[in-house]
Amino acid sequence: SDLAIGIHDLSFRTTGLVLSHTELARCNGTDIAKYHQGIGQRAMSLPTADEDIVTMAAAAAAPLVERHGTDRIRTVVLATESSVDQSKAAGIYVHSLLGMEPHVRVVEMKQACYSATAALQFAAGLVHRDPQEQVLVIASDISRYDLDSPGEATQGAAAAAMLVSADPALLELTRPSGLFTADVMDFWRPNYRTTALVNGKESIAAYLEAVEGAWKDYQRRGGLPLEEFRAFCYHQPYTRMAFKAHRQLLETCGAQADEETLDHALAATTGYNETVGNSYTASMYLALAALLDDADDLTEQTVGLFSYGSGSVAEFFAGRVRAGYKAHLRGEAHREAIGSRRAVDYGTYRELREQTLPTDGGWYELPHETRGPYRLAALRDHQRVYEAA
Ligand code: CAA
């Protein structure tokens, strides 16, 4: 059918603390150029004791609910790989914090950094079935690697919330999708671990193989040719990865991959991720937010989106930017979320990493540290207690 379905509104939030790579490099003896140029990262968001994926998710989604109400939202999908419970969907806490009505289905999705894209496609299918319905899709993650490991410099945190609807104000999702799945152990986190395990070099190779695989599938299914795309939003575990990925895509097409071509396609997509760090499921959507917020007029232009989740599953798809989209953007609030984080020094960062939430089922009040609108207030009988801050 000709019904346009896609992203009607997009909002993200991050955590309250930030560690700069200058500070990290100063204390771990790394040449700062490795961080600033080599991986393209400048800072990483860190949570306060009373922030987690739920508080970030609710903070990201609240402005959407404020602007559009909840009447038409019949489904909430929260995508994460840093879940707080093995059974209960984190989205139910968000549904409650946002005061949504009970006639809603809420579910959590997981496949490493990819699952928000699965959620988006699921949402598009639901809206296609009933164009009156809106779906709230939230990607929320805190990425944590072992201290002093190569991955440490690529930590970060953010949540991106999207309202998916018919006749969207920002981005129309187009068909087909190019898909690629491979059973690889490039990055994973067993249930008993709080930090991810990663084979760094293998993860880069697996990501690049997925770029080629998903793009070829997209082409086989009648996707748009390379020349049609104005910009590309890649999953950005660190922002230089987008450059590696796009070079791979261009080479797959037999196209020239010089710096100017790469910059034209990517430069506007990295501004948020380079200072927030890896936000896993939210990362590609922060790239999209940066592009929409910061690029010159993109009206009716086509944007390529490449979503990658280790393990691995990848999807390449295209979106068309809608006329009048600029009136609906939230660039100022996004810059404020990033700019208002409190800087911590390396010592404080190491102390924060030692703090873990008790698991004995006792009653604990958490200190009020966040400046965000929602907080994890307490733990009681193995339950998490959230409240408006
Ligand atoms: N000046 C300038 N550049 C420098 C430099 C210096 N002094 N020192 C090093 N560099 C460059 C290197 O040349 C390298 O660039 P290239 O990749 O273009 O060659 C870059 O900086 C990184 O240097 P290393 O490869 O030596 O870094 P490392 O081995 O310490 O770690 C990493 C890099 C493997 C990405 C590591 O950060 C890591 O394990 N990260 C987590 C895993 C990850 O993000 N994987 C990405 C794909 S998987 C995915 O996308 C899913 C996900 O979200 C995790």
Cα–ligand 1 centroid distance for 325 (angstroms):
35
The pLDDT assigned to 118 comes to: 98
Percent of the chain with pLDDT over 90: 99
CA–CA distance from 219 to each of 57, 118, 195, 222, 242 (Å)? 35, 20, 37, 5, 20
Strand 17-20 versus strand 342-343 pairing type: parallel
Which residue has its alpha carbon closest to ligand 1 atom 25? Answer: 201
Q: How many CB atoms lie within 10 A of CB 102?
A: 5
Whether residue 81 lies in the annotated active site: yes
Ligand 1 atom closest to Cα of 310?
51
**Ligand 1 pocket, 32 CB below 6 A?**
no
Ligand 1 atom closest to Cα of 199?
39
**Ligand 1 pocket, 11 CB below 6 A?**
no
The answer to whether the pTM exceeds 0.95 is yes
The pLDDT assigned to 326 comes to: 98
Which residue has its alpha carbon closest to ligand 1 atom 31? Answer: 150
Cα–ligand 1 centroid distance for 38 (angstroms):
7
Distance of CA 206 to the CA centre of its chain: 19
pLDDT in tens, 194-249: 999 999 999 999 999 999 999 999 999 999 999 999 999 999 999 999 999 999 99
Whether residue 113 lies in the annotated active site: yes
**Ligand 1 pocket, 310 CB below 6 A?**
yes
Residue 75 has pLDDT above 90, yes or no: yes
Whether residue 233 lies in the annotated active site: no
Which residue has its alpha carbon closest to ligand 1 atom 13? Answer: 38
Residue 52 has pLDDT above 80, yes or no: yes
Strand 197-198 versus strand 187-188 pairing type: antiparallel
**Ligand 1 pocket, 280 CB below 6 A?**
yes
| Separation CA 215–CA 89 (nearest Å) | 32
**Helix 200-220 and helix 239-252: axis angle, to 10°?**
40
The pLDDT assigned to 2 comes to: 81
Ligand 1 atom closest to Cα of 30?
7
Q: Which of 114, 154, 234 to mutate to test the pocket of ligand 1 (most atoms within 8 A of CB)?
A: 154
pLDDT in tens, 309-343: 999 999 999 999 999 999 999 999 999 999 999 99
Average pLDDT over residues 4-17: 98
Which of 222, 227, 304 has its CA nearest to residue 269? 304
Which of 226, 387, 382, 228 has its CA nearest to residue 302? 228
Average pLDDT over residues 175-200: 96
The pLDDT assigned to 388 comes to: 97
The pLDDT assigned to 145 comes to: 97
**Ligand 1 pocket, 362 CB below 6 A?**
no
Choosing from 113, 152, 172, 233, the catalytic residue is: 113
Residue 1 has pLDDT above 80, yes or no: no
Residue 168 has pLDDT above 80, yes or no: yes
CA–CA distance from 77 to each of 60, 170, 230, 314 (Å)? 14, 19, 29, 19
